[in-house]
Amino acid sequence: MASIFEFYIEFEILKNHAMRSAKEFVDQLSNHIEEAEKGKLKKFFKGDDGETEALGVRFGTVFKLAKEFKDLSLEEISVLLDSKYYEIRMGAVSIMDFQARDKKFPDEHKKALFDLYLNRHDRLNNWDLVDRGAYNIIGEYLMDKPREILYELARSKNLWKRRTAIVSTYAFIKKNQLFDTFQLAEILVNDDQELINKAVGSWIREAGKRDEELLCNFLENHAATMPRVTLRYAVEKLDDSKKHYFMNLNEH
C-alpha cells in the first residue's frame, strides 16, 4: 500500500499536470522572441528535414521556462515535440531531461520518458537535441538494466540514433562503467558522419580520463585508420608524447 507521502507526491504531480499545457508553454515562449535570434538555425541546426524553423528565442530562456514547466504531462510534451520550431522541441526535450533527473518522479514515469524519447526520435533530429536528453533520459535509465538497445541504435541508419547510442554512455562513464562506451565506439569508429566522429572522440576521451590504458589500447587498434577528427578529440587530454605518437600513426 502506498504511503501518505507517496500519495501526496502523486497528487501534486497530477495537479501540476492539470495546470500546465503545451499551449501555455508556447505562449510564454513566444513572449521572448527576438528577430536577431532567428539566425541561430543556420549556426546550430544540422538536420535536413526541410521543416524546422527557428522561433527566435534564446536557449537560456528555453531552458529556464522548461524548468518552470517541469511537471508537464507526457501527452503535452509530445504535443511540443510535434512543433516545427527548433526552440519548442528543445523545450520539450529539456522538460523530459528535468523530469528524468527529478527523484520525485517514479520509475514508471522514467520508463515512460525513455519510451517517449525513443518513439519520437524522429523529432530529436539535431545534435543538441540528442545531447540535451540522451544522458539522463536514456543513459541513466539503463544504469541497472540491459543495454542492447544502445547497440541497436549504434547500428541504425539514422545519424541521430547513432549519436544517442554513444552520448547516452556518459551516465556509465560517470560511474566508472566504461565497457559500453568502448564497445559502441568499436561500432561507430569509422562512421561517415562528422557529428558521430566528434561524439566518439569526445566520449572515449572522457572514458580515458577514468582509464587511460583502455583508451590507449583502443587507439593502438584504431588510430591509424579512424577519422582524424575523432582522433584529435580522443587524444586531447593525453600527455604530449602519447598525443604525438597516436597522431603520427594517422598520417596518411
Give the position of cell 520509475. 107
**Ramachandran category for residue 25: left, alpha or beta (phi over 0 → left; psi -120 to 50 → alpha):** alpha
SS3 category, 91: helix
User: Domain residue spans in the chain?
Assistant: 1-144, 146-252
pLDDT at 45: 83
Q: Counting runs of H as helices and runs of E as strands, what totals does the chain give?
A: 16, 0
Q: Which CATH architecture best describes the domain 146-252?
A: Alpha Horseshoe (1.25)
CB 95 within 8 A of CB 117: no
Q: Is 53 in a helix, a strand, or coil?
A: strand
Query: What is the Cα gyration radius of the chain?
Result: 20
**Residue 41, all three cell numbers:** 538555425
The one-digit pLDDT tens for each residue of the chain (252 residues) are 445 544 344 445 444 444 689 999 999 999 999 988 888 777 778 877 778 999 999 999 999 999 999 999 999 999 999 999 999 999 999 999 999 999 999 999 999 999 999 999 999 999 999 999 999 999 999 999 999 999 999 999 999 999 999 999 999 999 999 999 999 999 999 999 999 999 999 999 999 999 999 999 999 999 999 999 999 999 999 999 999 999 999 986
Distance between first and last Cα of the chain: 66
pLDDT for position 10: 46
pLDDT at residue 39, as a whole number: 81
Alpha carbon distance 245, 217 (integer Å): 13
- H helical segments located in 134-211: 148-154, 159-167, 170-173, 179-188, 194-210
